[in-house]
Amino acid sequence: MKKNIEYLKSIAFRTSILKHSQSEFDLLLSRKFSPFKYIWMNENIMSDIFADLLNPNGAHGQKEAFLKSFISKLPLKNQTPSNFPKIEREVRTDKIKNNKKRIDIVISWDNEFAIGIENKPWTSDSDNQLKDYSDHLKTKYKNYLLIYISENDANENSMSSKEKNQLKNEYIYFHINYSSYIIEWLEECIKSSQSEKIRFFLKDFKSEIQKYFSTMDTQNTNEIVEYALSSPENIESAYEAYKAFPKILEKIAENFSINFIDRLKEKYGHENINILNEIEGDKINIHFSKSSWTDGKRCSLRDHDKDRLYLSAFIENESEKSNFHDFIKDKINGRPNKTQWWDYPSRFNKWMNSPEEIKTFNTSESVEFFLGEFEVIINLIDEYQESKVCEPTSSL
């Protein structure tokens, strides 16, 4: 155990020296700067960027270069689209019975051929999602290709394996991932772009994608790898450190949850509230309700999409759900999606993407930040509860 601790100390020392030297380069290169630090990279933002890059008439000014790179490796069979296509976002499935779903991106060449793209970086599919998309495209176009962008292929509830395999064999369904296909596409776009401004943007976007979906081969990593391989003992110590890191994340999540709940109890007292802590591994799931709240109202701080913390408001009474959620949505500054409304940038939301984010989250500052946001929801539920109590009862 002692040699493992000494190994970590030596790694920390070597890393600090390397960081110091890199800071000198940053005076000229600004390697850590990225506009995506200020942009909340959710599914919609990512899809907007994809759609703009694929559009030959897009503001990037590179005409069809990016589109050609994207489709060059797709399994197109007997389709050779040549003219500029129409690019659409959030296309409603109006050709099928379930006409309220929306395809993220549709690239269409009149009614002859279309490429439908479903971008799924983090959230899971709804029931029959890909099947409905396929049915819509099949009805509207003579030929089509349905692309599913995700690290893992779609699950069974979205489209059965049998159906997917059949569509694959017919060259009308294709699964691509971020860590290889999208990264390689962006690299080709960087090379082909004649605009320096666009190249800088593409490099930053590529780095952002890599942060979520692949391990970047940084100078720090190379230094650690070389040192680990310098002796059998160092390899063993590196492996022990690797095994311990998930436990470190779990402990940070546990400490956050305990401190957050303690602050809730300080704020609202022990007797008048109910708190359920459903922490599982490094996932944070805290549910809060007041004894005075009726109809099963509660608010939650939960890890809804991997390492993203969301605030949510919920009511069990089905007849009141619509009014309740409309009331919450009208009062907050965000983009609600069902019960979730946490959809704006925060340095605490995506806390497991880098050492800096992990260190920042592992502070009392993160607890106080979420406590302040939690109070907004609690106060709104109080306000809604009071409005229902004060509603006049109808008399016969």
Which tens digits make up the pLDDT trace of 241-295?
777 788 888 899 899 999 999 999 999 987 789 998 987 777 888 999 999 999 9
Share of the chain above pLDDT 90, in %: 39
Query: pTM value?
Result: 0.60
pLDDT at residue 395 in the model = 45
Residue appearing with tokens 């944070």: 284
**pLDDT at residue number 47:** 93
State the average pLDDT over residues 208-236: 73
- Sheet containing strand 173-176, edge to edge, reads 86-92, 102-109, 113-119, 143-149, 173-176
- Is the pLDDT reported for residue 228 higher than 90? no
Locus of tokens 């490429």: 115
Q: CA–CA separation, 209 vs 275, rounded Å?
A: 36
Min mean pLDDT across 148-157, 251-260, 282-291, 298-307 is at 298-307
What does pLDDT average to over the chain?
A: 82
Give the least confident one: 33-42, 144-153, 213-222. 213-222
Q: What is the pLDDT of residues 60-87, one digit of tens each?
A: 999 999 999 999 888 887 666 667 899 9
Helices marked H in the chain — which ranges?
A: 2-29, 43-54, 65-71, 129-140, 161-169, 183-192, 196-213, 219-228, 232-268, 321-331, 355-361, 364-389
Domain boundaries, the chain: 38-213, 244-389
Residue 348: name the closest of 314, 372, 313 by CA. Answer: 372
| pLDDT over threshold 90, residue 155 | no
Q: Comparing C-alpha atoms, which of 85, 75, 252 is closest to residue 172?
A: 75
Sign of the dihedral defined by the CA atoms of residues 334, 336, 340, 344, in that order: negative
Q: Output the CA–CA distances (angstroms, integers) from residue 371 to 4, 262, 310, 319, in the order listed.
A: 37, 11, 13, 30
Closest residue by Cα to residue 117 from 211, 49, 202? 49
Which residues does 38 contact at the CB level (< 8 Å), separation at least 6? 345
pLDDT in tens, 113-145: 999 999 998 777 888 999 999 999 999 999 999
Reported for 135-139, long-range contacts at CB under 8 A and 24+ positions apart, including other chains, are: 135/93, 135/95, 135/96, 136/93, 136/94, 136/95, 136/96, 136/103, 137/103, 137/106, 139/95, 139/96
